[in-house]
Amino acid sequence: MSQAYPGALTRERVDAVIAASGFTSWVGTELVDMAPGRVEIAVNLRRELTQHHGFGHGAVVGYMADTVCAWAAASVVGDVVTSEYKINLLAPAIGQRLTAVGSVVKAGKSQVVTRADVFAEKDGVKKIVATALATIAVVKAPL
Amino acid sequence: MSQAYPGALTRERVDAVIAASGFTSWVGTELVDMAPGRVEIAVNLRRELTQHHGFGHGAVVGYMADTVCAWAAASVVGDVVTSEYKINLLAPAIGQRLTAVGSVVKAGKSQVVTRADVFAEKDGVKKIVATALATIAVVKAPL
Amino acid sequence: MSQAYPGALTRERVDAVIAASGFTSWVGTELVDMAPGRVEIAVNLRRELTQHHGFGHGAVVGYMADTVCAWAAASVVGDVVTSEYKINLLAPAIGQRLTAVGSVVKAGKSQVVTRADVFAEKDGVKKIVATALATIAVVKAPL
Amino acid sequence: MSQAYPGALTRERVDAVIAASGFTSWVGTELVDMAPGRVEIAVNLRRELTQHHGFGHGAVVGYMADTVCAWAAASVVGDVVTSEYKINLLAPAIGQRLTAVGSVVKAGKSQVVTRADVFAEKDGVKKIVATALATIAVVKAPL
């Protein structure tokens, strides 16, 4: 994973990616860490991001899993779109802050298989709340 | 699917469910149709719901698929939580409005298997943009 | 789905495909029906295809779901390999015979999204035992 | 994961489980290693387990992933059935022998979330060929 593609997504370019996406910036996505093939992000919970019990909404948890998978893939191969993902919700997302870590399992020519874990932090204690497996499609540049 | 559980989610109770969830109401979720085992919702796209190309964000598409699956299950068995789902993103969510239809494949005692399709409407033309398969866990009431 | 690719898998070529695969022929895979974008197969249960309760083994159910998805895709786009699938096992595969129906949800240039249902027949009564959603990758011919 | 349930599947009981299942014994499933929450199995490839290129058939790869997930769950909670799984096929299963490792991500009261990796060994070199994420349902003993 250490040898990234020339057009790969880098830490320097993530801010522009966040700013360009209405949803990504509205949620308040923060990049925590990024290396070729591995990305970590965080989101602070607020009322608009919760479900009816006041926990983080599954849509936010799913968003974070998908995002770290796509960015982990992009950090290796460049431009991508999510083809599909599967997510298991393991526990309620209770806390003040969610974090997600995505990593590349295998990067191929046309697709990158990735996995992600999402965690909730409550009063400094971090607990896994979801795990995901995703297929990210490589967007071919026109010749 | 026609015989709903006494505590099942009904059309009359959905407004309260939407109001109780910060994310669900912020997104602007509208109930289009609901019958035991089948639910349809809609969301009007606006900047905060888009990705970097201005299309509906995958997180919104995933949210809609998950929501109609959970509500279709709830319309048959009562209180539920999403256990897991898998979604295939088929095309960019281009348009002014997204709709999603969820239906129950099989309702068991402890879980309900459901499927969903998500559509984007552009200038009156509706196109499928995602399809999902979800396992919804039945929340047992304490004895 | 009615306009198949010139190299698409046809009913005439399926026998050769079955004969070429050790597992497919050992299982006793029968083609029931095939049209561009839709395939149905059947397998008669015997002891080697069962699990510890004597029901059809999940591996056989998964095999059938994967096979009809891949063949449905191949019937539209030609040579393929399964990229990934997700399957929900809905009920024990009790009976003398299993059937599976796969169909194309969307065929793209590099991948085909498909779904499948698997049924068990016991004493003439057919019951759904599994449902699946799969991504089938198109194998590009070398230029 | 170290504290197994009294009725949990143990190394001593696996031989009986293999013998009881027609498919499992026919495939030639070997237990390589087992500890509460983690299971490794192996299968030697032979013609009946291959697809048309002579590689290990996807059905065998899927079977192995499902089996180590179910057994890893059973090693912690006792009797189980597979609820659903999703598998990504990463590379052709080329070689003489396949191995699969399954582990528990989270064990709950009614379900256990597990993951698995499948490897092919060719001339002593081991390569990952698939990765899976599964939900295993706990079978409740009647009171």
Give which of D101, D96, D95 is closest to D130, Cα–Cα: D101
Q: State which residue of chain A sits closest to B91, comparing Cα positions.
A: A83
> C131 and B105: CB-CB below 8 Å?
yes
> For chain C, what percent of residues have pLDDT higher than 70?
94
CB of B41 closer than 8 Å to CB of B69: no
Give which of D5, D119, D142, D141 is closest to D73, Cα–Cα: D5
User: Which residue do the tokens 């010749």 mark?
Assistant: A143
- Considering only CB atoms, which chain C residues are within 8 Å of A113? 84
C109 CB near a chain B CB, below 8 Å?
Answer: no
- Considering only CB atoms, which chain B residues are within 8 Å of C115? 131, 133
Give which of C106, C107, C96, C27 is closest to C67, Cα–Cα: C27
Closest Cβ opposite residue B88 in set C91, C131, C135 = C135
For A71-104, the pLDDT digits (tens) are 999 999 999 999 999 999 999 999 999 999 999 9
Q: Find how far residue D41's CA is from the centre of its chain.
A: 7
How far is it, in rounded angstroms, from Cα C132 to Cα C118? 8
Task: Tell me the mean pLDDT in the region B16-33.
Answer: 95
Four-point Cα dihedral A126, A130, A133, A135, nearest 10: -100
Higher pLDDT, D19 or A7: D19
How far is it, in rounded angstroms, from Cα D59 to Cα C31? 18
B68: its two tokens: 């109609």
* Nearest-neighbour CA in chain A from B139: distance (Å): 13
For C8-19, the pLDDT digits (tens) are 999 999 999 999
How far is it, in rounded angstroms, from Cα C99 to Cα C43? 6
D15 CB near a chain C CB, below 8 Å?
Answer: no
Higher pLDDT, D79 or B5: D79
> D59 and C58: CB-CB below 8 Å?
no
* Nearest-neighbour CA in chain C from D63: distance (Å): 5
So what's the pLDDT on residue B7? 84
Helix (H) or strand (E) holding A16: helix A11-20
B1: its two tokens: 């699917």
pLDDT-derived band at A5 (thresholds 50, 70, 90) equals: low
Sketch out chain C's domains with CATH numbers: 11-138 (3.10.129.10)
A 50-89 residues with CB < 8 A to D = 86, 88
So what's the pLDDT on residue C1? 42
Cβ contacts of residue A67 below 8 Å, gap of 6+? A24, A29, A41, A100, A102, B59
The runs of H, that is alpha helices, within chain D are: 11-20, 22-27, 58-77
Task: Tell me the mean pLDDT in the region C112-122.
Answer: 98
Chain D interface mutation, best of A1, A83, A84, A86, highest count of D Cβ atoms under 10 Å: A86
State the number of CA atoms in the 13 A half-sphere of C109 facing the CB: 5
- Considering only CB atoms, which chain D residues are within 8 Å of B110? 110, 137
So what's the pLDDT on residue A7? 84
Closest Cβ opposite residue C50 in set D23, D46, D83 = D23
- Considering only CB atoms, which chain C residues are within 8 Å of D58? 63, 66, 82
> B22 and A50: CB-CB below 8 Å?
yes
How far is it, in rounded angstroms, from Cα D134 to Cα D83? 8
C119: its two tokens: 């049924």
User: Which residue do the tokens 């498909």 mark?
Assistant: C114
SS3 (DSSP) at A71: helix
Count of residues for chain A? 143
Instruction: Tell how strand D111-122 and strand D97-107 pair up.
Output: antiparallel
Mean pLDDT of chain B: 93
Cβ contacts of residue A131 below 8 Å, gap of 6+? A65, A87, A88, A90, A115, A116, A117, A118, D105, D113, D115, D133
Please, is C2 exposed, middle or buried when counting C-beta atoms within 10 Å of its C-beta (0-12, 13-18, 19+)?
A: exposed
A106: its two tokens: 């295998």
Rg (CA), chain D: 15
Rg (CA), chain C: 15
Q: Is the pLDDT of residue B135 over 80?
A: yes
User: Which residue do the tokens 């968003």 mark?
Assistant: A63
Task: Tell me the mean pLDDT in the region D70-99.
Answer: 97
How far is it, in rounded angstroms, from Cα A98 to Cα A41? 8
* Nearest-neighbour CA in chain A from C91: distance (Å): 21
SS3 (DSSP) at D25: helix
Could you tell me if residue D47 is left (phi over 0), alpha (psi between -120 and 50 degrees) or otherwise beta?
alpha
Helix (H) or strand (E) holding B83: strand B80-89
Closest Cβ opposite residue C133 in set B88, B91, B108 = B88
Residue C81, beta-bridge partner list: C137
pLDDT-derived band at B137 (thresholds 50, 70, 90) equals: very high
- Considering only CB atoms, which chain B residues are within 8 Å of D135? 83-84, 135
pLDDT-derived band at A50 (thresholds 50, 70, 90) equals: very high
C135 CB near a chain A CB, below 8 Å?
Answer: yes
So what's the pLDDT on residue C73? 98
Phi, psi of C85 (to 5 degrees): -150, 160
Higher pLDDT, D2 or A33: A33
Closest Cβ opposite residue A52 in set B20, B46, B60 = B20
Rg (CA), chain A: 15
- Considering only CB atoms, which chain A residues are within 8 Å of B82? 58, 89
Q: Is the pLDDT of residue B47 over 70?
A: yes
* Nearest-neighbour CA in chain A from D25: distance (Å): 30
How far is it, in rounded angstroms, from Cα C116 to Cα D83? 16
Could you tell me if residue A108 is left (phi over 0), alpha (psi between -120 and 50 degrees) or otherwise beta?
beta
How far is it, in rounded angstroms, from Cα C124 to Cα A42? 55
**Residue type, position B114, single letter:** T
Mean pLDDT of chain D: 93
How far is it, in rounded angstroms, from Cα D62 to Cα A85? 18
For B83-120, the pLDDT digits (tens) are 999 999 999 999 999 999 999 999 999 999 999 999 99
Residue D99, beta-bridge partner list: D42, D119
Helix (H) or strand (E) holding C113: strand C111-122
> A62 and B60: CB-CB below 8 Å?
no
D128 CB near a chain C CB, below 8 Å?
Answer: no
For C79-108, the pLDDT digits (tens) are 999 999 999 999 999 999 999 999 999 999
So what's the pLDDT on residue D140? 80
Q: Is the pLDDT of residue C62 over 90?
A: yes
Residue A114, beta-bridge partner list: A104, A134
pLDDT-derived band at D142 (thresholds 50, 70, 90) equals: low
> C105 and B86: CB-CB below 8 Å?
no
Count of residues for chain C? 143
> A52 and B17: CB-CB below 8 Å?
yes
So what's the pLDDT on residue D95? 97
> C59 and D57: CB-CB below 8 Å?
no
So what's the pLDDT on residue D2? 44
For B51-68, the pLDDT digits (tens) are 988 999 999 999 999 999
Give which of A70, A60, A50 is closest to A116, Cα–Cα: A70
- C38-68 burial, b at 16+ Cβ within 10 Å, e below that, comes to bbbbbbebeebbbbeeebbbbbbbbbbbbbb
* Nearest-neighbour CA in chain D from C61: distance (Å): 9
Chain C interface mutation, best of D48, D81, D83, D98, highest count of C Cβ atoms under 10 Å: D48
So what's the pLDDT on residue A1? 42
The runs of H, that is alpha helices, within chain A are: 11-20, 22-27, 58-77
So what's the pLDDT on residue D141? 63
Could you tell me if residue A124 is left (phi over 0), alpha (psi between -120 and 50 degrees) or otherwise beta?
left
Count of residues for chain B? 143
- Considering only CB atoms, which chain D residues are within 8 Å of C81? 89
A139 CB near a chain C CB, below 8 Å?
Answer: no
Chain B interface mutation, best of A87, A94, A111, A118, highest count of B Cβ atoms under 10 Å: A87
* Nearest-neighbour CA in chain B from D85: distance (Å): 10
**Residue type, position B27, single letter:** V
How far is it, in rounded angstroms, from Cα D42 to Cα D55? 16
- Considering only CB atoms, which chain B residues are within 8 Å of D83? 111, 135
Q: Is the pLDDT of residue D52 over 80?
A: yes
So what's the pLDDT on residue B5? 62
Q: State which residue of chain D sits closest to A117, comparing Cα positions.
A: D105
A56 DSSP assignment: B
